[in-house]
Structure 1
Amino acid sequence: MKKSTSLFFLAAIFSANSLCAQQKKAVTATDQKMNTFINQLMSKMTLEEKIGQLNLAAVGFDVTGPILSQGVNEKIEKGLMGGVFNTFTPQAVRKLQELAITKSRLKIPLLFGYDVIHGHKTIFPIPLGLSTSWDLDLIEKSARIAAREASADGLNWTFSPMVDIARDPRWGRIAESSGEDPYLGSLIGVAMVKGYQTNSFSNKDAILACVKHFALYGAAEAGRDYNTTDMSLIKMYNEYLPPYKAAVDAGAGSVMASFNDINGTPATGNHWLLTDLLRNQWGFKGFVVSDYTGINELEAHGLGDLQTVSAKALNAGTDMDMVGEGFLTTLKKSLQEKKISQATIDQACRRILEAKYKLGLFADPYKYIDEERAKTEILSQKNRADAKTIAEASMVLLKNNNQLLPLKKNAKIALIGPLANNKRDMIGNWSAAGEWSQAISVMQGLKNVAPDMDITYAKGANLVDDPGILKLINANGADIVADEKSPEKLISEAVSVAKNADVAVVVLGESALMGGEATSRTELDLLPNQKDLLKALAATGKPIILVLMNSHPLTLVWEDANVPAILETWFGGTEAGNAIADVLVGNYNPAGKLTTTFPRNVGQIPLYYNHKSTGRPYDGVSNEKYKSRYIDSSNDPLYPFGYGLSYTSFAISPVQLNKVSMKAGQTIQATVDVQNTGDFDGQEVVQLYIQDIYGSVTRPVKELKGFQKIFLKKGETKHVTFTISTEMLKFYNADLKFAAEPGDFNVFTGSNSRDVSSAKFSLLN
């Protein structure tokens, strides 16, 4: 892909706004028709039926938790349910939809939602892995395929994209994020919404996106899931809110409230967040759904009993109650006691009905039920081929001393590790409908890709030996069974296999169930039993290629110092094994770039590239005491944001500006020459950062403002140009005014956030 994204985000938002403006006249008649239909429908609805539309029930079981909904059939028949989640397949969906259409009084169809997070049946890399591709077209394609499969399986609503900015790798849900940067996160959020919803809900394969978790969920204190958050409005507006707004501006049909509090009030009951900001400032027209029992949990936050918190949530702007049934059981009483108004109930009901109307469910309640389409669409060979391509693009080469990679296809290798011949973990966390039995292991992938390779396998270690972690993740479906052999025996076998090979390919990392919701960690090293294995293998003197599978960015100081080649593959999905094998043998030259900073140790956390300076910044060299530094560790990360190697090498020239000043409304061109100086064709992500040197408030040391992913043949040079506009220099000041301030700016270009060249320009009054 060759695409300038220095203005892509602005263009995407402008395009969305322009499209809305262009469509206003065209959709007026459609809106009027919808409003007339819904007005007539609501005039027939009882209070109970209106409240019923606000009720989202769980039917079935998956990773979100146990079934809390009871008497589902009866409630559907009475019109006391607006939607269902955890139910899919055409047969199962038809059964419930028929109840609503044939048994309920007003025949209002149901919404069917599901956690389609990184694929439905064909699973793609975990979202953090998708983001490291820096390829918006591929990311959008992954969402498009997911929507096609999900819609063919009876679903019309996904609880995705998650656009939370995540700067604490201890947080388990960093796996679902696009990393630490608001600019890149915004672009990815827009791409995902477009992929799910297409350009028209009239399409049978368009499903409703749900932007989550609104808001600030990724800033949970101590990296502990569901924990509190606390931040200034300036930080909120400049660093955490942009991806949510971008996804809303792109037309997302629904938003999910987060579990955490904002300014002392949990999101689910936060009127400022859900009404003042989301609806009044941003103009969001869709509906807001709580997270799983999010309304009930306001009780534990200390905001009142179930009736009190249900009224608070509705008044705040939460339209749909996921699973908790607080709305269903208390809103009528709250209305009688004048704690809520009929208008507020009607408004929430209308928003749910509008979503159903836009999806075409009133015209055809069975629109998403097509058994023949399910047979041809789900897990098709085309979908799997695309999944392999996307998985390859997500992989990040962290180290490759002496060009140990790529491997020769006839090499004699020792394939070692608990994840080397493993299907169960390939599809990662939040792969709710994914079938791990359909996944390709690394061993199978190598056999598929390099049939002449001499492979000897040894497990080497259990994936998890720690009894506390093992008990917790097995209770949630990890299915890890300890090997009958002792840890010492497993290591001994692996060492023996390694000694008889040319190179050891060691596949280590986390269980898939060590990432995702409720999987926060306090330590980010490889688990001790795996590190013991790696150290024993290193002692043999044989060259080692470490292949990592993990949801959290890990602390890899020992590995970086002692292992010559390290490939980060995250959890690559259904085609992970084939994709990893293609990278290992050089069929695909890795081009992924990190979207999260990898710390040296947990003591550095939070650690992110776009931090602010201090009054006493440390230069990393001097021994001066009174500087912002540690006495026992470097301030610097192990691997910086934007970092990733290739089998080839690239030379990026110093950045050149076509002029050194501009006025508002003008632009400056920043250019570099990029040369492929190595022995392989490859891709490079050329990155543009800007620093506002002096501001009315403190500003980050640099901020990503553009990138281009380009392909160069061996020896080829390309001229890369970025356009810097006034819009790119804007930020929210102390008055929360979004504006660019005249003054001096630094421009940085390079292959990552650390290794850059710079130039300076001025914005004039």
Structure 2
Amino acid sequence: MFKETRNILLIAGLGLCLTTSSSLAQEKFRYKDARLSTSERTADLLSHMTLEEKVGQLLCPLGWEMYTKDGNTVTYSEKYKNLLDKQHVGMFWAVFRADPWTQKTLENGLRPALAAEAANAMQRYAVEETRLGIPIFIAEEAPHGHMAIGTTVFPTGIGMASTWNPTLQEQVSAVSAKEVRLQGGHIGYGPVLDLSRDPRWSRVEETYGEDPVLSGTMGAAAAKGAGAGDIKNPNAVISTIKHFIAYGIPEGGHNGNSAIIGQRELHESFLPPFFKTVEAGALSVMTAYNSIDGIPCTADGYLLTDVLRKDWGFDGFVVSDLGSIDGVYSSHRVASSLQEAGTMSLEAGVDVDLGARPFAELIEAVKAGKIDIAKIDSAASRVLCLKFDMGLFENPYRDAKAAGREVRSKENVAVARKAAQESIVLLENKNNVLPLSAKKVKKIAVIGPNADTHYNQLGDYTAPQERAAIRTVLDGIKTKLPAANVIYAKGTAIRDTAQSDIAAAVEAAMQADVAVVVVGGSSARDFETKYIETGAAVADAKSLSDMESGEGFDRSTLDLLGDQIKLLEAIKKTGKPMIVVYIQGRPLNMNWAQENADALLNAWYPGQEGGNAIADVIFGDYNPAGRLPISVPRSVGQLPVYYNKKVPKGHDYVETLGSPLYTFGYGKSFTEFGYSDLKITQQADGGIEVSFQVKNIGSRAGDEVVQLYVRDEFASTVQPIKQLKKFDRIHLAVGKFKQVVFHLQPEDLSIINPKMQRIMEAGSFNVMVGASADDIRLNEKVEITKSVQLPLYGKVK
């Protein structure tokens, strides 16, 4: 009895001591008091931090070595402990990433439940074993789903842009963000807002295409879906929009090369998608590898401070692209050391060093008087503010069981299928060969390098996924017909001609009523590919992998590689109806297919449900309405060939037409739509209201993507031939119509004049409504009688 009483007293005394100790800690460290404002908590925390601890918040090293896994047990690694103990690191990148570069596979990588346990172990050490208990940020690649094992894989950016459906993009981003957070991540890299005007460039697949309005609208939707404006939501991530700026137009199509662009074009076309997405609530911006007019973007104070912070009012944090601060020294050679590159980038406005080498030297730079510690404080406070805002000091841990249960749920997979369906663009449908009838088609041949190669439909920045989770075209078609009625032959690989067996493909076609031939490209990384420090793949003439797209795989031609054209020609000679499907990361040469295929589909990289979606279209269970977000050239000699070039319109070449093979906004349907009753009304604010009627005049229900373009007929600076201003994807049953109304504000009709001022100038505007940039159904000129002066950019709300 006495022993029991003594133990109770000891426990009670210990509790009293703990309570007293906790009270003292709470009084000493006011930042731990959740009742205080974020600014108060951040200021207090900074006051307790050493220089080394502050700099630690600006470091973001590679994360996949931060855990150790033994069977079903996972914890933090010794390397992680050392980084926190010695460098006080506050952020890690790609902890859950799995791919050949990281050497993480389905066997040794983390599935969702274990990923959450790894994140919890890392947070537990940071919160409970370090002096100040600052939780870490985990930043993850999430451009088209979380780049981790067992997650939902959506169409890549160019595919999502082909949906012309920002509401769907918002849904996709919400799913992706939730899957990142369930596993313990906080930051999602994406969306990619680079305008793509050169399909030779290796990263077209990640973008929303060539147009600033479409890119900005989809980017804003992606940020909103991911939780912008509500980062206290436990399913929200901080969206990192990239790459700032003009990264998608490198000289020669070489990834990371300098961009040749004037200041007016920069402000008219390239910056607006970023502004619109920042305005939507994105709280992180990633710099670009390229330079503009001799200044590396990662060390450009005009872009990162004057434009982003002063003009736009951006109050999130700027992160360098991986190793891009190093590149200020090693690639651009405008700094003579890593330390100088780090100080230049910090001064310019970079807050976080992804890669973490140059900023690690800021400690010595401060001590040597090369940089003011106030710059360190400002950068650290931006990171810490967001950690407080997300509630990480109070709730740093995640439920591992929920991660295992809710990541890649049936509901999420259904969203992936819908996204894949809406992304498919029907380019040709001669004699209405599509849709096929499952009752009439007795045998179908499914042929080609991308017909059943599952990784080839997923795109770059995708982790290894179980084969059973991915639906190829062959898988999808087998759900429409009895398996005995489906004949498969690969025919050839994407690049490797040693794998070709075209005779077998011809034999398959001869036995069938129709042939579906799936060609294109691949961004599927393999364990033989070489990678540089940034993770970009190194193109190798000796490499025989399928990979011909994805970061680092720039092209000098856009032709189908290997024996793919030979395969198409051989199947054509059989005389069987031929449906050609392109699965690709960039607009490849489609000249032969346009002329010879009975039907032609462009599916980009459609994600894990792509095969089902393509089969849905082929058999008419889904009426396609995807529209091209980027022009498809006839030849690389035309490049650049984007639709909204400045006047005058280019003429034809000696060898070919000057126009693209397929232009921006183009895409067919299984039904037809009529346009009528255009009305334009001027508004009191100086803008105009445009209304018109769209009617389904065909035989099937379907979606139409209505597009409104404007040309400023006479302006003080040279203007585009036409420029998209508004669009909407609408669904109409047979015989039904909809009155579509678009409101154009003065800013929609504005230009940047010779004095670099934004203004809607009085004058004549041609308002054009149609189904693509080259398919204008209605147009009318309107006279604006009064000019309206506007700010170059509005402040972020």
- Tell me the TM-score range normalised by the shorter chain: 0.7 to 0.9
Residue in 1 that maps onto 2:278: 248
Residue in 2 that maps onto 1:75: 83
Matching of residue 510 in structure 1 with residue 541 in structure 2 = no
1:700-751: per-residue Cα shift (whole Å, max 9, x none)? 1111011121112223333323333323211222222111000001011110
Report the Cα distance in structure 2 between the residues aligned to 1:227 and 1:182, rounded to whole angstroms.
21
Residue in 2 that maps onto 1:130: 160
Paired amino acid for 1:132:
S
Q: Does structure 1 retain, via aligned residues, the 8 Å contact 2:228–2:281?
A: no
Report the Cα distance in structure 1 between the residues aligned to 2:79 and 2:487, rounded to whole angstroms.
55
Instruction: Work out which of the residue numbers 716, 729, 738 in structure 2 matches 1:709.
Output: 729
Cα distance change, pair 640–453 in 1 and its aligned pair in 2 (3 A):
farther
Matching of residue 112 in structure 1 with residue 138 in structure 2 = yes
Aligned CA RMSD, in angstroms, stands at: 2.0
1:410-463: per-residue Cα shift (whole Å, max 9, x none)? 312111112112222222211247555521111111122444782111111123
Question: How far apart are 1:231 and its partner, in Å?
Answer: 1.0
Report the Cα distance in structure 1 between the residues aligned to 2:52 and 2:694, rounded to whole angstroms.
65
Cα distance change, pair 190–436 in 1 and its aligned pair in 2 (3 A):
farther
Report the Cα distance in structure 1 between the residues aligned to 2:199 and 2:481, rounded to whole angstroms.
35
Q: Does structure 1 retain, via aligned residues, the 8 Å contact 2:174–2:225?
A: yes
Report the 3-state secondary structure (helix = DSSP H, G, I; strand = E; otherwise coil) of the residue aligned with 2:707: strand
Paired amino acid for 1:392:
Q
Instruction: Work out which of the residue numbers 765, 770, 776 in structure 2 matches 1:745.
Output: 765
Q: Does structure 1 retain, via aligned residues, the 8 Å contact 2:228–2:238?
A: no
Report the 3-state secondary structure (helix = DSSP H, G, I; strand = E; otherwise coil) of the residue aligned with 2:479: helix
Instruction: Work out which of the residue numbers 322, 333, 339 in structure 1 matches 2:364.
Output: 333
Query: Which structure's CA Rg is the greater one?
Result: 2
Higher relative contact order (CA 8 A, sep 6+): 1
Matching of residue 605 in structure 1 with residue 666 in structure 2 = no
1:256-297: per-residue Cα shift (whole Å, max 9, x none)? 111111231111111111111110111100111111111111
1:301-328: per-residue Cα shift (whole Å, max 9, x none)? 1112111111101111111111142111
Report the Cα distance in structure 1 between the residues aligned to 2:773 and 2:34, rounded to whole angstroms.
47
Paired amino acid for 2:350:
T
Q: How many residues align?
A: 694
Report the 3-state secondary structure (helix = DSSP H, G, I; strand = E; otherwise coil) of the residue aligned with 2:286: strand
Question: How far apart are 1:390 and its partner, in Å?
Answer: 1.0
Paired amino acid for 1:301:
H
Report the Cα distance in structure 2 between the residues aligned to 1:663 and 1:461, rounded to whole angstroms.
59
Paired amino acid for 1:738:
R
Paired amino acid for 1:656:
L
Residue in 1 that maps onto 2:662: 639
1:191-213: per-residue Cα shift (whole Å, max 9, x none)? 01111125422211111110111
Report the 3-state secondary structure (helix = DSSP H, G, I; strand = E; otherwise coil) of the residue aligned with 2:772: coil
Cα distance change, pair 115–31 in 1 and its aligned pair in 2 (3 A):
farther
Matches within 5 A, 1:241-640: 241-299=271-329, 300-303=331-334, 304-328=336-360, 330-366=361-397, 369-410=398-439, 411=441, 412-432=443-463, 434-435=465-466, 437-451=468-482, 454-465=485-496, 483=499, 487=500, 490-513=501-524, 514-614=548-648, 617=649, 628-640=651-663
Q: Specify every segment of 5 or more residues in structure 1 that has no aligned partner in the other structure, as ranges.
A: 1-28, 63-68, 467-481, 619-627
Paired amino acid for 1:350:
S
Residue in 1 that maps onto 2:749: 729
The percentage of counterpart residues that share the same residue type is 38
Question: How far apart are 1:139 and its partner, in Å?
Answer: 0.5
Report the Cα distance in structure 2 between the residues aligned to 1:389 and 1:460, rounded to whole angstroms.
30
Instruction: Work out which of the residue numbers 109, 113, 124 in structure 2 matches 1:98.
Output: 124
Report the Cα distance in structure 1 between the residues aligned to 2:604 and 2:467, rounded to whole angstroms.
16
Matching of residue 754 in structure 1 with residue 762 in structure 2 = no
Report the Cα distance in structure 2 between the residues aligned to 1:61 and 1:735, rounded to whole angstroms.
52
Question: How far apart are 1:103 and its partner, in Å?
Answer: 2.2
Tell me which stretches of 4 or more aligned residues in structure 1 moved more than 6 Å.
Answer: 29-32
Residue in 1 that maps onto 2:710: 690
1:98-134: per-residue Cα shift (whole Å, max 9, x none)? 2212222111110001101101210110110001000
Paired amino acid for 2:127:
I
Q: Does structure 2 retain, via aligned residues, the 8 Å contact 1:441–1:576?
A: yes
Instruction: Work out which of the residue numbers 55, 61, 71 in structure 1 matches 2:59.
Output: 55
Report the Cα distance in structure 2 between the residues aligned to 1:352 and 1:424, rounded to whole angstroms.
36
Matching of residue 223 in structure 1 with residue 253 in structure 2 = yes
Report the Cα distance in structure 1 between the residues aligned to 2:215 and 2:625, rounded to whole angstroms.
19
Report the Cα distance in structure 1 between the residues aligned to 2:509 and 2:123, rounded to whole angstroms.
57
Matching of residue 651 in structure 1 with residue 681 in structure 2 = no
Report the Cα distance in structure 1 between the residues aligned to 2:464 and 2:122, rounded to whole angstroms.
19
Cα distance change, pair 76–389 in 1 and its aligned pair in 2 (3 A):
same
Q: Does structure 2 retain, via aligned residues, the 8 Å contact 1:427–1:434?
A: no
Q: Does structure 2 retain, via aligned residues, the 8 Å contact 1:663–1:763?
A: no
Question: How far apart are 1:651 and its partner, in Å?
Answer: 2.3
Cα distance change, pair 453–545 in 1 and its aligned pair in 2 (3 A):
farther
Paired amino acid for 1:351:
R
Report the 3-state secondary structure (helix = DSSP H, G, I; strand = E; otherwise coil) of the residue aligned with 2:238: coil
Report the Cα distance in structure 2 between the residues aligned to 1:183 and 1:385, rounded to whole angstroms.
28
Report the 3-state secondary structure (helix = DSSP H, G, I; strand = E; otherwise coil) of the residue aligned with 2:191: coil
Report the Cα distance in structure 1 between the residues aligned to 2:779 and 2:145, rounded to whole angstroms.
40
Q: Decide which moves more: 453-462 or 504-513.
A: 453-462
Report the Cα distance in structure 2 between the residues aligned to 1:30 and 1:241, rounded to whole angstroms.
37
Q: Decide which moves more: 258-267 or 725-734.
A: 725-734
Paired amino acid for 2:194:
D
1:31-73: per-residue Cα shift (whole Å, max 9, x none)? 97111111111111111111111110112179xxxxxx99432
Report the Cα distance in structure 1 between the residues aligned to 2:78 and 2:753, rounded to whole angstroms.
50
Report the 3-state secondary structure (helix = DSSP H, G, I; strand = E; otherwise coil) of the residue aligned with 2:318: strand
Q: Does structure 2 retain, via aligned residues, the 8 Å contact 1:464–1:511?
A: no
Paired amino acid for 2:653:
Y
Matches within 5 A, 1:5-44: 33-44=37-48
Instruction: Work out which of the residue numbers 144, 147, 165 in structure 1 matches 2:174.
Output: 144
Report the Cα distance in structure 2 between the residues aligned to 1:61 and 1:743, rounded to whole angstroms.
61
Question: How far apart are 1:515 and its partner, in Å?
Answer: 2.6
Q: Does structure 1 retain, via aligned residues, the 8 Å contact 2:493–2:562?
A: no
Report the 3-state secondary structure (helix = DSSP H, G, I; strand = E; otherwise coil) of the residue aligned with 1:343: helix
Q: Does structure 2 retain, via aligned residues, the 8 Å contact 1:78–1:104?
A: no
Report the 3-state secondary structure (helix = DSSP H, G, I; strand = E; otherwise coil) of the residue aligned with 2:232: coil
Residue in 2 that maps onto 1:65: none
Paired amino acid for 1:310:
G
Question: How far apart are 1:588 and its partner, in Å?
Answer: 0.3
TM value normalised by structure 2: 0.84
Paired amino acid for 1:38:
T
Report the 3-state secondary structure (helix = DSSP H, G, I; strand = E; otherwise coil) of the residue aligned with 2:199: coil
